[in-house]
Structure formats: C-alpha cells, structure tokens
Structure 1
Amino acid sequence: MNIYAEFHARIAALLERLGAEARLPTSLDLARFVVEPPRDPSLGDLACNAAMVFAKEVKAFYPNPRQLAAELAFSLGEMEDVEQAEVAGPGFLNIRLKPAVYGDILRAILREGENFGRGASGRVAAKKVNVEYVSANPTGPMHVGHGRGAVFGDALASLMEFSGSEVTREYYINDAGAQVDVLARSAYLRYLEALGEVVTVPEGLYPGDYLKPVGAALAAKYGDSLRGKPEGEWLPPVRAFAIDAMMEMIRDDLAALNITHESFFSERSLHDSSNGPSEVEAALEDLRAKGLIYEGRLPPPKGQLPDDWEDREQILFRSTAFGDDVDRPLKKSDGSFTYFASDIAYHRKKIAGGYDVLVDVWGADHGGYVKRMSAAVEALSGGKVALDVKLCQLVKLMRDGEPVKMSKRSGDFVTLREVVDEVGVDAVRFIMLYRKNDAPLEFDLAKVIEQSKDNPVFYVQYAHARAHSVLRQALAAFAELDLAPARLAETELALLADENEWALIKLLAQYPRVIESAATAHEPHRLAFYLHDVASFFHSHWNRGKDQPQLRFVNQDRRDLTCARLALVTGLMKVLASGLSVLGVKAPEEMR
C-alpha cells in the first residue's frame, strides 16, 4: 500500500478529467509531478507540485498556478479519506489525511509483513536489468575499494528486484589484457619456488603471498614439465590456471559478503575468432554500417602531451555524435583492439540479451570513461537501452582514526576478506551503504563495531532487537496474548492517542515510496538513511517512556492499549527487517 503512489494516481486522474473536459491540454506528461511528504509535517501528510510543474503548459487555461491547485484541492477535499486539501505558496498542494488511513496502512504492514512495499508501484514499470559490478581484475584478492562496489552493486540489484524488476547480477572478467600475463609470470615464479628454487619477485610482478598456493598447485599438476621451457609454451597454461585460481578466490571473498553473481562473462571470449568474426569485430562492423566508424586523426590532448601520444591515422568511433568530448580510437598502433573496443562488444552482447537498463558499477578512477561508454550504448541500441554508470569513491581504511597498514597477504593493500573477518558482514555492508556511492568513505574498523548510537549499523539492528524485546515483555505480562501479526491487525488502533505513535506510523507508511525512489534513482543509500531515521524515531519514543510510564508499550493495566501498541511495534519490526534484508544485513532478535 503506497499512499504516495495512490494519490499520484488520483491527481493524475483529476488532470486527465480536466483534459477530457477541454480545460487542460491532453499532452501533459503526468509522470513529471511528485507526491511526497511535506518538509514540514505540520503542513499535512502529502505535498504535490503538479500545478507548479505544469504552470507554463496550462497558462492558457489557468494563468496562475494557484488556480489549478485550488481546482485540484477542491476535488481532493471531497474524497472520503481526505481531511483537508489546501493551496500553499505559489501553487503547492498540501493534503491532510484522516487518521483511519494510517490505521489501514499499519494493518497492511501487519498483513503483508516483509513483503510490504514489494513490487512495482504502477507508476514505475518493471524492467529487465543487468547490473554489472565488482569486475575486479583477476590478479589477486579483492581490496576494500572493490568491496564498496561489490556491496553497492549487490544492494542495488536486490533493491531493484524488490521494486519489481527482473535483475541479472553480472561479473565481467578482465582476462584479456596485459595484466593477466603479469599474473601468469608471477605465478610461474611461485611455481619454480614450489619446485625448490630460490626466487626473487622483481618489480612489476605481483609479490603477494596469495600466489604461493597457486605455484604449489601448478607444481602438483605439472611437476617440473614447465621448468626451462620458453615463455611462449608455459605462459598460456599458467595464465589459464592462475585466472581460474584467482576467480575461485574472488568468488570465495564475495561469498563471505553474501554476494553471488548469476553471470560471469569473459572478456577473452569477445576476441575468439575461431568460428568466424569475433564479437569485437562484429560490434565494430555494426557501428561501421551505421556510419559511426571512420579513419582519421585526433587532435593532441590539451596541456602536456603524454609519453605514448602518437599523431597517426587510426580507426575512430564517432562518439562526439552522442555527446562525448572527442571521438575515440578502437585500435592501438600495434593493430590490437583498445579496451574500449572490447567494452563496446561486451555492451552489445548485453543489449542483445534484451535488457531495458544496464547499470555498470565502476571505481571513481574510471569517471573519464563514462561519456564514451554512454555514447556507444546509445549508438548500439538506437537510444532504446539506458546505461547508468555508478562510480564508487575510494574507501580510506582506519583504526581509531589512524590509517591501517598494508597486508602481507596481498603485498600492498588490506584485503576485503581480512576486513570482513574482523568486523563481520553486517558492519561492512551497512557502512558501505550509509554514504552515497560517489562520496569518499572513511571506514574505521574500531568504530563500526561499537555498540553505540554513533554506529549506524548497531543503531538500526538494535532497534529491531529492541522491538522483539517489547514482544517478550508483553508475553511476560499477558501470557495468553496472540502476537501473530494478522491477529494484531484486528486490534483497535484508535486507542493510540499519543501524536508520536501516529508520527511513527506515518514514517513507516513512507517505506514503499523510499523503495520506489531508491530503485528508480539507483541509490540504495536512501534506504539505509531511511532505516536509520526509523530506528532513531523508535529509540527516541522508547526513551520518552522512561520518564512517562503511560507511554510505555506494555501497560499491565490496559491489555487493549498494549495490543494496539504491539501492533505498532510489530509493524516497525517488519519494515526494519524488510529494509535490512534488501541491503543484505541481518535483523537480529537479540543483541548482547
């Protein structure tokens, strides 16, 4: 039951009726206006900006936006569940609902439980979505920065699923570049070490201890048959073996965060031409047929020229036709394809998969790559498929305010697995989501496990556990109580007399709207913020009961009032559990 979507539909119907009566244009885009909570709760329960949004388009009919707002307010005011609808400022609508509406919403929460808010609202059509995230190079263990993108992508996929979309979680394996050859050479050294040789890892190779088991496994498989052979003979099998070992380690690291992907896509497969033209060649031919590939020269970059700059004739994609700053090269001087060419082919495969929306989760250092990729997707799909690139900023790992030192296992960074093992899955996931993805994040290993209100994951989980403790207290006072949510939904909610109790119900009523807006904007942090707001309100109301016994949830002299308050507590518990589940965080019943 999404009260905001419900009233959006009602106001849209009123506008459509005015259009049918030739009192408004019939061409209004009714998805443009919003119904939302007012910034000041004293103004009402719902606020709508329709008259302001359409002011220019309807000026011939309503010269002043307040006139259209007054027309809508009059019609809304006649509805049975509306207590008052009035015009504010230059043409905003403020709507106050009758208390029974929120009683019905609380009953809906109790009936639907953790499914409250699930599914498309009717305003947002369900989509087929591909979310590609993590996609770390398969050259070693994942670090904390990878973890942020992993958690963000996984939570976003869950959020979009919950809102009604069909979502595929995908990992793009970068197994075709020079870095996997470096991996193979590093693993080969560890192979020789496993055979008893003394080795020194030179600069430019991967020094971490994580490759020692790979070297030992290579020795167990091949014996000394690879020793002494030319690199051209041992590199392909060692590379394939090392990539598989790294991907197994990465999958294991992700599993520790409760993250799984339905699809793992190999970049190397895009270059396979054993059965005809490769996927890269086919993608470029597709663009060539559209007149979007040509041979030309690029102007030199502004400022100091990079060392690898070459003024040469080359194959270019006409990305400036789609808003990019410069056309982009597709082949290197040695004749091999650029990374961008591979990415074009990869996204062409996703478009062919029938997806409506593509979401790519990248590190912040790839920000300069966004325009060209957006241009390619628009060109390949004819503008029919949307690409949203979400950039995740860096994570600064701290302990009590001091930077954390590097890890021996990785060689040059603290691994994600080390962090998860120290502070737990819930702390990693919630804290990673408690900042907008493009904002820098300081992750303090000491603070994220503190049991205090300053630790947001503890604060939210504790609210859920505290709600369960209320139910246990109620059973101690009234042993015969039936605490089944469906039974609590039958209680007399009008007994709730404190304004904070109804304010809390109104906050719970926002949950479907939060789900919808967070899923539409691809911003799971909105849900984390909302859950913290709910927890904060609940804790505050609990504390009021310390000084005012009449506000306590369990009143041993009033079984009926206790049941009404238990309905509220149970509704809160269901919303917190649902939201935490979407974020991939546990909702504990007890915390010690």
Structure 2
Amino acid sequence: MTLYTRFAAHIDAVLDALEASGDLPAGLNRANITVEPPRDTTHGDLATNAAMVLAKPAQTNPRALAEKIVAQLAGLDEVEKVSIAGPGFINMSLTDDTWRAELSAIRDGGDDYGRSNRGAGTTVNIEYVSANPTGPMHMGHCRGAVVGDALAALLEFAGHKVIREYYVNDAGGQVDVLARSVHLRYREALGETVEIPEGLYPGDYLVPVGQALAAEFGDAYVGKPEDEWLVLFRTKAVAAMLVLIKADLALLGIHHDLFSSEAELQAAGKPEEAEAELRSRDLIYDGVLEAPKGQELEDWEPVVLPLFRSTQFGDDQDRPIRKSNGQWTYFGADLAYHFQKAQSADALIDIWGADHAGTVKRIVAAVQALTGGKTRFDVKLVQMVRLMRAGEPIKMSKRAGNFVTLADVVNEVGKDVVRFTMLTRKADAQMDFDFAKVVEASKDNPVFYVNYAHARVASLHRRAAEAGIVCDTVDLSQLDTEDLALVKFAAQFPRIVDTAAAAREPHRIAFYLYDLAASLHALWNVGNDRPDRRFLLPDNPAMTCARLFLADAIGQIIRNGLGIMGVQAVQEMN
C-alpha cells in the first residue's frame, strides 16, 4: 500500500465513522473522492475533495462536513496539520517521519515500488503496429510501436494481464501488389532484365525474396498466368516480410505475443459469425445508403447492402459491412476481428495512426454492440513523426523505395533514445525527431536529462567508496526539509503509474521522470553554492549516508519508470 492509497483508506475509515454516528447518510457514492498533492505546495502535502463530493448528496454544507472530517483526520499520527480551504477542500501536512518512512518504503519496494493490483488480473488486448506486411518497418510505424509497447508494460505494472497483438493485413489489394512486385524480382533473379512499373514496390528489400523463390522453384512460374502463382507468391512474400518486420521490431525491444492473420480470419468464417450475431440482435439490416453528396444522381446507382446500425451508437450514418460484389468492407473485416479479440480479453486497445480518426466512432460502436457494452474499448490515435536532419525534413515514400527505415534510425542513435523520444509528447500531438537534438547533452533533451540524473546517483557510490565512507547504518533523521521535499515528489510515482494506466497514457511516465530528474538536479546544484547541501560530505559520514539513501531511492524510481518505457538506465555518461 502506497502513501496515497493509505490516506485514501484513512479517509474511507473517517467516512465510515461518520456514517456510523449518523453524521453522514449511508451508501453515498465515493467513487469521485480523490487524494492528491495540492496544486499549491504551500497548502500542504495532501488534499482531498471528500467534503465537496459528498456534501450535495448528503444535503449538507461542504464546509460543515469538512469540519467533521478534519476533526478525525487531525488525530492521525502521520498528520502534523490539517486545514480547510475555500468552500470545503481539505489539506493535510504530514510529519517529517512519515516522509522518512515513505523513503524507506521506496528502497524496500525496489523494482516493485509503484507496482499495483489496480488491474486485478483483468486481461487487456493491445493491438499495435499492424503495418501492412509489404516491407521493412519505417519511422512512420515507430511511434505507434513504442506507444503500444510502453502502454502494455504500464498496464502490466498496474496489475493487468496483457496480450500484445499484431494484426496482419494480408487479405487486401496491397498484398497482391506485393506478390506482383516479388514476381518481378523472381524473374530478375533468373536473369531477366526487369523494370518496376508505377504502382509496384521498387525497394531493394524484395531482391532477396525473389532470389529465394528462384532457388526454390526455378523457372516454374516464368511466363505463367497470374492466377497460377499469385496466391503462392503472396503467401511467401508476406511470410518473408513478417520476418523483416519482427527483426526490425526486435531492434526496439518489441515482441508481440500474437500475430493474427486477416486472411485466416476470413477463411475461418469469422466475419459471417459476427454478421449473424449482429443480425440476431437486429443490428444489421439490408438497406440502401444515401447518395453521396455532391454527385449527380445519374452517377450513382442505389444498391442494397448489409448495413450495421452504427447510428444507434452515435455514428452519423449506418455503415456497410459488405461491398456490392459481396466482398467484406474494411469495416466488416475489422468488426469480425474485434469480435474475435473480445472473446479472450476484458478490454481492448487499438493504437492507430491519426489518419484513421474518421473510422474510430464506427468501430467503437461495433465493439459496443458485439459485447453488449461489457468490453472496454479504447482507440489511441498517434500522430506521425517528422524526421529532421540539418533543419530540413526527410521525405519518405515506401512506393518510391526511398524511405528511412526504423533500423537505420535505431542503428544511428540507439534503441533507448528512440523509445524515450517517442514518449516525450502526447501520442496525439505532432512530433519532430531531430537526429541532432535527440542526442544533445542538454536540459532540453529529456533523454539526456533523465539519464544524467541516474548517472549522478550511480556516481555517488563510487565517490563514497573512494572517500572511505561505509554506510552500515543509516540515520534518516539527518534529512531536513529540503531533502524531504524531494521525497515528497518521489512518493508520487505510484500515483502517476495509477493515473497513467487508467488514462492509457504512457507518456505521463516520461513527463514525471523529467520532473523528478529536474528536482534531483536542483537539489544537487544547491551544493555548488552551499557546501553543506552536497550529497557527499567526507567530514560528515552520517549525513552522507542519509543523502546517499535518498539518492538511491530516486535512482530506483528512475529505473522503474524507464523500465516501463522499455529504456535501460545508464550508470555513467560518456
């Protein structure tokens, strides 16, 4: 139990007592009661809105209720002072010993400090990356990959079971284009001079695939009609691309638990199952779409199609699940895929590119309909990353074969720099990835700034050993108000993990680590002007050991946070 959850329990106990005494009606909803740091630190260490939340349903004045709550909180050994602010907010100042005890809890918690059982073992399926299997990973895929993987780790840290899934889009026209592109490389490998026409994939990454097919089949498929080789070449090409994709993702430390095939999904009749399920609930009907706006009537012919009643769930129109030729629409296939996922998970999360924003409402509606609203479903939109070099954007085009691969970037700046940088902004905010700035040794580079904080902590042990200081025992009473201010910020880590997991926003961990690093650096730098504030005081081993204990706790939290982000904490800066 963390400090914040402990005080939430204290407040629950106070409210229980007020109910028992008749000062508060029984059964009031406490879900919106919070315990958090006050916005203004001069108001205290913790604040609760309990009186504000409960006063109206209790038909009482919030300040009057706050006075009753305060009277009981004041009796807690951990509370030094408690007061009422404004119309009924309650602020608490805790004793220094309470914060020293929390510092010990951080050290005792070690790698598990901040871990919780919020998820209570519920299973969350996170589908991320899911790039078309038509080539190696490029930087257009990178941000969603990192966000999804960090979110998976965050939810595991918060007590969920997580399924990391990649949906292989191997049933659309783009994989037929891939097969045709590979067939050209196959003919090239057999000695034919080929030109890659407009509309096919020209990348050299397909050359080895063509060579492998030439070695396996010889000239058996040269000069043969497309229907004799298309399916075979498509299957072989997709398999080869998945090998490339998995290798690229491994460079980022990303490994999925499950790769689901769209082609296999359709072959197994899953879309038909989803359609039958929705028809049984009268959520699919046969109807005609409205004529597209802005087109002449003679340019449009009404066709009866199976339509999902997505307007019942907030969409602006009902959506077809099949095309006029009977093939599944993208929406129809996606609907079946999510129906399948929901059968093995309590909650679903999709990480999508921002260009898919227009389809969010309809797929959310479909999942709500298919699961009866029982499965939580979130779609996280991720904006593209603009690559910059020498102040100029780098243009990418997979079709033209001149894109920047993920492997290129990781090999240049390193996995940890890429992963950390991708989490330094909200996923739905635009981002520039400047090759110079992400490795810059400055406060403006969060990757460097956080790592520098951890390296400073690591350096203390080496320097203390050189000074002959041995900390067999540690007296935390040596730590004063300035030292404990850092403990107060560090103790927020479990709460940050909890709120980040609830919001499905792993970038909050990166933001917190930057602020924690800033707090450590600020305390460290005080020693530049005031020698007594230094962490290492050879003439005062007791204070040195206490501050070394403090620094170790900060280092532990940095490692825990970086671990969620999939980043390795550095021991020293080069």
Compute the TM-score of the two structures, normalised by the length of structure 2.
Answer: 0.97
1:8 Cα deviation from its structure 2 partner = 1.6
Partner of 1:68 in structure 2?
65
Where in structure 2 are the equivalents of 1:40-55 lying within 5 Å?
A: 40-55=40-55
Partner of 2:477 in structure 1?
494
Where in structure 2 are the equivalents of 1:534-553 lying within 5 Å?
A: 534-553=516-535
Could you list the per-position Cα deviations for residues 116-172 of structure 1 after superposition, in whole angstroms to 9, with x for gaps in the alignment?
Answer: 111225xx6442111110000101111212110000000000000011111111111
Alignment partner for residue 468 of structure 1, among 458, 464, 486?
458
Q: Are 1:576 and 2:558 an aligned pair?
A: yes
Partner of 1:421 in structure 2?
411
Partner of 1:131 in structure 2?
126
The answer for unaligned runs of 5 or more in structure 1 is: none
Partner of 1:165 in structure 2?
160
Could you list the per-position Cα deviations for residues 353-392 of structure 1 after superposition, in whole angstroms to 9, with x for gaps in the alignment?
Answer: 1x11111100001111111111111111111100000000
Where in structure 2 are the equivalents of 1:387-536 lying within 5 Å?
A: 387-406=377-396, 411-479=401-469, 481-482=470-471, 491-497=474-480, 499-536=481-518
Check whether the contact 1:283–1:344 (CA below 8 A) recurs between aligned residues: yes
The whole-number CA distance in structure 1 between the counterparts of 2:455 and 2:298 is 59
1:310 Cα deviation from its structure 2 partner = 5.1
The answer for unaligned runs of 5 or more in structure 2 is: none
User: Which residue identity is paired with 1:162?
Assistant: F
1:85 Cα deviation from its structure 2 partner = 1.4
The whole-number CA distance in structure 2 between the counterparts of 1:26 and 1:334 is 61
Check whether the contact 2:479–2:543 (CA below 8 A) recurs between aligned residues: yes
- Return closer, same or farther for 1:328/1:70 CA change in 2, 3 Å cut-off: same
- Return closer, same or farther for 1:420/1:307 CA change in 2, 3 Å cut-off: farther
The whole-number CA distance in structure 1 between the counterparts of 2:399 and 2:408 is 10
The whole-number CA distance in structure 1 between the counterparts of 2:356 and 2:15 is 44
Paired residue secondary structure (1:170): strand
Check whether the contact 1:209–1:411 (CA below 8 A) recurs between aligned residues: yes
User: Which residue identity is paired with 2:500?
Assistant: A
Paired residue secondary structure (2:387): strand
Check whether the contact 2:271–2:332 (CA below 8 A) recurs between aligned residues: yes
Partner of 1:231 in structure 2?
226
Alignment partner for residue 349 of structure 2, among 351, 359, 365?
359
1:408 Cα deviation from its structure 2 partner = 9.0
The whole-number CA distance in structure 1 between the counterparts of 2:207 and 2:300 is 38
The whole-number CA distance in structure 1 between the counterparts of 2:522 and 2:7 is 30
How many residues are paired up? 574
Check whether the contact 2:201–2:398 (CA below 8 A) recurs between aligned residues: no
RMSD: 1.8
Could you list the per-position Cα deviations for residues 408-447 of structure 1 after superposition, in whole angstroms to 9, with x for gaps in the alignment?
Answer: 9971421111111111111110010010010011110111
How high is the sequence identity, in percent, across the aligned residues?
A: 54
Paired residue secondary structure (1:131): strand
User: Which residue identity is paired with 1:49?
Assistant: N
Paired residue secondary structure (1:587): coil
Check whether the contact 1:271–1:279 (CA below 8 A) recurs between aligned residues: yes
- Return closer, same or farther for 1:308/1:80 CA change in 2, 3 Å cut-off: farther
Partner of 1:348 in structure 2?
339
Check whether the contact 1:140–1:410 (CA below 8 A) recurs between aligned residues: no
1:14 Cα deviation from its structure 2 partner = 2.3
The whole-number CA distance in structure 2 between the counterparts of 1:141 and 1:583 is 23
Paired residue secondary structure (1:130): strand
Partner of 1:104 in structure 2?
101
Check whether the contact 1:141–1:410 (CA below 8 A) recurs between aligned residues: no
Check whether the contact 1:407–1:415 (CA below 8 A) recurs between aligned residues: no
Partner of 1:588 in structure 2?
570
User: Which residue identity is paired with 2:278?
Assistant: L
Alignment partner for residue 89 of structure 1, among 86, 91, 97?
86
Paired residue secondary structure (1:377): helix
1:19 Cα deviation from its structure 2 partner = 3.3
Check whether the contact 2:200–2:399 (CA below 8 A) recurs between aligned residues: no
Paired residue secondary structure (1:57): helix
Q: Are 1:23 and 2:23 an aligned pair?
A: yes
Where in structure 2 are the equivalents of 1:290-369 lying within 5 Å?
A: 290-302=281-293, 311-353=302-344, 355-369=345-359
Alignment partner for residue 546 of structure 2, among 561, 564, 588?
564
Partner of 2:200 in structure 1?
205
Check whether the contact 1:209–1:410 (CA below 8 A) recurs between aligned residues: no
Paired residue secondary structure (1:434): coil
Partner of 2:117 in structure 1?
120
Paired residue secondary structure (1:176): coil
The whole-number CA distance in structure 1 between the counterparts of 2:444 and 2:274 is 51
Could you list the per-position Cα deviations for residues 81-100 of structure 1 after superposition, in whole angstroms to 9, with x for gaps in the alignment?
Answer: 11111110121111111111
Where in structure 2 are the equivalents of 1:205-284 lying within 5 Å?
A: 205-273=200-268, 278-284=269-275
Paired residue secondary structure (1:315): strand
1:452 Cα deviation from its structure 2 partner = 1.6
1:405 Cα deviation from its structure 2 partner = 4.3
Could you list the per-position Cα deviations for residues 437-480 of structure 1 after superposition, in whole angstroms to 9, with x for gaps in the alignment?
Answer: 1001111011101112111101101110111111111111125x
Paired residue secondary structure (1:112): helix
The whole-number CA distance in structure 2 between the counterparts of 1:543 and 1:536 is 10
